[in-house]
């Protein structure tokens, strides 16, 4: 795109007040002009955002805020342009000064912000905020783990209190999160990690949250155990203690669950999974609502968490996402609801088949009556905008787990006999994938860590993708004969 001073490229930076940014000095006429143009640009984008918010989920997913006005500034391109340039050129020193001092919008340098990422962030903020009565903002990151690190570290700032700080988190979480909290935070920094063993037990959450808690963290549904928890009730407990609730909603995606509507403050995602279902990118995102509770950090952190993270900690830590990956994710997002609907229906069919198979001990799928937490899952997991007629309809996602009768060795034989379903540590893809968590995703946390996270050695995690379910059932049936 050809940039001009009249149309500064969109960035994520909100404007500082002139007094604050210029240290009380009057602005030079050139900086003032750049500021006025920037404000006009932001107003135009705010109007576009408000118009887009009135649309249905699929329409937002397809277009985000990239509309006709933005396209005309990009030689008419209907698809969001990929900005691969590491840095933004400025018309003159005034424009540069105005942008770098946050007096005018812009992106400056691609580690800090990037126009392609901006479109992805705006779409994610709108989708997570769909049906939620409030503003949302997003920060895209280089991986899901980067999103979880960036979303949690700001709450671990030191204070004057000599008592150790703690965090309260579900033990039934992604293996990387378990390692981040127990190795990086607990062992290396002395943060006390209070694991909640049974996320369905509200009494356990309540007993672990206290005056030194910095944040509360849950995963819904969890990978690989498919555990669920009552987001609204746990949010209430966190808020009563003055701390935020963070929810990893990777497995559900906003097509099935939007935790901000239920009282959560911050949502983290691995975009490498179902959101990026074609499987060509590693990425993550933080999405937050406005005015979250926190015991530490500046006012800006509470007022607009994702934007604060993007402007400061994210800039300094540097886990930026590639604009090419952002473009692929924008493409995948356009079909999110359709894919999640189809894959969920196939997963339910596969789960029913497995539940009736004599070589299967147990199936964990939130959609199966009899699975722990099924009633709660049915309260929270709905296909956004309902079925073809718009009637509300439960969908329970693409992920399931099953335990093979005969133990770990039998599970390995079944796993090794799969011919269509890939053996890989992956999920949420158009291609169905299976893994044995004990020897892969949850290998590093050891026997006691797996016991804490409820990961049995005979568990196979299965992510159902876009193949016809008949072929998946046939592959599993053939493989289970080797149990």
Ligand X SMILES: *Cc1c(COP(=O)(O)O)cnc(C)c1O
282-341: contacts with ligand X (CB under 6 A)? 282, 284
3-state helix, strand, coil in the chain (%, to 5): 40, 15, 45
251 lies in the binding site for ligand X (CB under 6 A): yes
CB 118 within 8 A of CB 12: yes
Q: Which residue's CB is nearer to ligand X, number 261 or number 398?
A: 398
Sort 369 into a burial class: Cβ within 10 Å, 0-12 / 13-18 / 19+.
exposed
The residues that bridge with 268 in the sheet, in sequence order, are 248, 286
Choosing from 129, 144, 225, 319, the residue that interacts with ligand X (CB under 6 A) is 144
Choosing from 174, 185, 217, 353, the residue that interacts with ligand X (CB under 6 A) is 174
Q: Which residue's CB is nearer to ligand X, number 129 or number 144?
A: 144
Q: Which residue's CB is nearer to ligand X, number 282 or number 472?
A: 282
5-64: contacts with ligand X (CB under 6 A)? none
Number of residues that bind ligand X (CB under 6 A): 15
- In whole angstroms, the minimum distance from the beta carbon of 223 to ligand X comes to 4
343 lies in the binding site for ligand X (CB under 6 A): no
Distance between alpha carbon 458 and the CA centroid of its chain, in Å? Answer: 29
Q: Which residue's CB is nearer to ligand X, number 285 or number 311?
A: 285
Distance CA 277, CA 339 (A): 8
- In whole angstroms, the minimum distance from the beta carbon of 426 to ligand X comes to 8
Question: Which pairs with CB-CB distance under 8 Å and at least 24 residues apart come from 6-9?
Answer: 6/37, 7/41, 7/73, 8/34, 8/37, 8/38, 8/41, 8/95, 8/99, 8/104, 8/105, 8/106, 9/83, 9/88, 9/106, 9/107, 9/115
| Candidate segments 190-198, 243-251, 380-388, 467-475, binder of ligand X by CB under 6 A | 243-251
66-125: contacts with ligand X (CB under 6 A)? none
Q: Which residue is nearest to ligand X (CB)?
A: 144
Burial 328-360 (b: 16+ CB within 10 A, else e): bbbebbbbbbebbbbbbbbbbebbbbbbebebb
Choosing from 270, 325, 344, 432, the residue that interacts with ligand X (CB under 6 A) is 270
250 lies in the binding site for ligand X (CB under 6 A): yes
Choosing from 88, 123, 137, 143, the residue that interacts with ligand X (CB under 6 A) is 143
Residues that bind ligand X (CB under 6 A): 143-145, 174, 176, 219, 223, 248, 250-251, 270, 272-273, 282, 284
């Amino acid at each position: 795109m050809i940039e001009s001073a009249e149309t500064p490229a969109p960035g994520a930076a909100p404007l500082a007040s002139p007094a604050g940014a210029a240290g009380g000095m009057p602005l030079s006429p050139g900086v003032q002009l750049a500021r006025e143009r920037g404000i006009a640009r932001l107003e135009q984008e705010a109007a576009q955002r408000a118009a887009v918010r009135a649309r249905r989920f699929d329409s937002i997913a397809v277009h985000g805020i990239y509309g006709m006005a933005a396209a005309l500034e990009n030689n008419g391109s209907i698809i969001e342009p990929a900005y691969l340039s590491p840095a933004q050129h400025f018309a003159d020193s005034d424009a540069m000064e105005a942008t770098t001092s946050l007096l005018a919008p812009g992106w400056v340098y691609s580690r800090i912000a990037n126009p392609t990422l901006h479109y992805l962030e705006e779409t994610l903020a709108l989708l997570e905020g769909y049906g939620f009565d409030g503003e949302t903002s997003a920060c895209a990151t280089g991986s899901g783990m980067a999103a979880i690190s960036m979303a949690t570290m700001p709450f671990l700032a030191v204070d004057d209190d000599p008592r150790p700080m703690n965090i309260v988190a579900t033990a039934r979480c992604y293996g990387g999160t378990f390692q981040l909290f127990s190795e990086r935070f607990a062992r290396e920094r002395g943060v006390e990690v209070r694991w909640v063993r049974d996320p369905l037990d509200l009494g356990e959450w309540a007993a672990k949250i206290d005056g030194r808690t910095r944040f509360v963290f849950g995963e819904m549904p969890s990978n690989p155990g498919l555990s669920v928890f009552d987001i609204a009730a746990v949010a209430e407990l966190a808020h009563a203690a003055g701390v935020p609730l963070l929810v990893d909603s990777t497995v559900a995606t906003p097509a099935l669950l939007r935790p901000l509507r239920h009282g959560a403050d911050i949502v983290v995602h691995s975009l490498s999974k179902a959101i990026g279902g074609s499987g060509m990118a590693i990425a993550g995102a933080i999405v937050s609502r406005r005015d979250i509770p926190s015991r530490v950090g500046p006012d800006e952190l509470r007022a607009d968490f994702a934007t604060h993270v993007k402007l400061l900690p994210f800039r300094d830590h540097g886990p930026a996402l590639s604009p090419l990956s952002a473009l692929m994710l924008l493409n995948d997002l356009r079909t999110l609801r359709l894919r999640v609907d189809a894959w969920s229906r196939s997963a339910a069919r596969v789960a029913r088949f497995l539940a009736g198979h004599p070589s299967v001990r147990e199936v964990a799928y939130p959609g199966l009556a009899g699975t722990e937490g099924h009633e709660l899952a049915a309260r929270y997991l709905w296909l956004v905008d309902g079925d073809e007629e718009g009637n509300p309809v439960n969908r329970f996602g693409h992920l399931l787990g099953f335990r093979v009768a005969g133990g770990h060795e039998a599970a390995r034989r079944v796993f090794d006999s799969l011919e269509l379903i890939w053996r890989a540590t992956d999920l949420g893809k158009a291609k169905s994938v299976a893994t044995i968590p004990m020897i892969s995703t949850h290998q590093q946390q050891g026997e006691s860590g797996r016991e804490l996270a409820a990961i049995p050695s005979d568990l196979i995690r299965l992510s159902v993708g876009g193949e016809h379910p008949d072929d998946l059932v046939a592959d599993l049936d053939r493989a289970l004969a080797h149990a």
